[in-house]
């Protein structure tokens, strides 16, 4: 119901200029990248086309497993971002929901915080050992 309140005032027409802007932006990017491909000199040698590695010879592949922490941050982000998005309908409608709504959101924030404290206690955000 609350979600619907936001959707009711929206017309598909409102989004048309965004499509237009997307078209212009894509065209601009494509033309510029195409033009630079044509304009520049082309004197490729095998040394030039090797990946840069501070002047020493390449060792192994760059696409190898990275520190797990980056992955962990990404997973936590997905969880918390969804929770943040749930606040948005509330923030738009909270005046009409009054104190009852406030108490309910307080409960929601408590749950949010419990999860937050849990991941911190677990050391998920501990960057230095």
Partner 1 sequence: MLLAITVSYLLGKAALIGAIVAVSLGLAMYSTWAERKVAAIMQDRVGPQRAGPFGLFQPLADGLKLFMKEEIIPNFANKFLFVLAPGLAMVCALMSSAVIMWAPDYTMADGTVYPFQVADINVGILFVFGIVSLGVYGIMIGGWASNNKYSVMGSMRAASQAISYELPMGLSLLALLMVTGDTSMRTIVQQQDSFLHMNVWKQPLAFIIYLVCAFAELNRAPFDMAECESELVGGYHTEYSSMKLGFFLFSEYINMFISSVIMACLFFGGYHYPGMDWVQAHAPQWVFVATCILATISKGIAFILFIIFVRWTLPRFRYDQLMNLGWKSLIPLALLNLLITCAVILKFFN
**Spatial separation of the C-alpha atoms in residues 96 and 98, rounded to whole Å:** 5
- Least distance from partner 1 to the Cβ atom of residue 59, Å: 9
Q: DSSP secondary structure string, 41-85?
A: -----TTTTSPPSTTSPP-S-S-S---HHHHHHHHHHHHHHHHHH
The footprint of partner 1 on residues 88-117 (CB under 8 A) is 88, 91-92, 94-95, 98-99, 102, 105-106, 109, 112-113, 116
Site for partner 1 in 27-56 (CB under 8 A): 28-30, 32-33, 35-37, 39-44, 48-54
Q: CB 2 → partner 1: shortest distance, Å? A: 13
Size of the site for partner 1 (CB under 8 A): 72
Site track for partner 1 across 1-20, x = CB under 8 A = -----x--xxxxxxxxxx-x
Which 61-80 positions form the footprint of partner 1 (CB under 8 A)? 61-63, 66-67, 69-70, 73-74, 77, 80
Choose between 118 and 120: whose C-beta lies nearer to partner 1.
120
Q: What would the two tokens of residue 102 be?
A: 């406030």
Least distance to partner 1 from the beta carbon of 19, Å? 9
Sequence-distant (≥ 6) Cβ neighbours of residue 36 within 8 angstroms: none
Q: For residues 70 and 72, what is the distance between their CA atoms, to the nearest angstrom?
A: 5
């Amino acid at each position: 119901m609350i979600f619907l309140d936001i959707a009711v005032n929206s017309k598909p027409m409102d989004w048309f200029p965004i499509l237009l802007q997307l078209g212009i932006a894509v065209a601009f990017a494509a033309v510029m990248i195409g033009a630079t491909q044509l304009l520049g000199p082309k004197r490729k040698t095998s040394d030039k086309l090797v990946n840069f590695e501070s002047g020493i010879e390449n060792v192994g592949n760059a696409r190898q497993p990275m520190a797990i922490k980056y992955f962990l941050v990404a997973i936590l982000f997905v969880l918390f971002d969804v929770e943040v998005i749930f606040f948005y309908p509330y923030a738009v409608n909270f005046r009409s929901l009054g104190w009852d709504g406030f108490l309910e959101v307080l409960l929601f924030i408590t749950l949010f915080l419990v999860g937050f404290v849990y991941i911190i206690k677990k050391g998920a955000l501990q960057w230095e050992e």
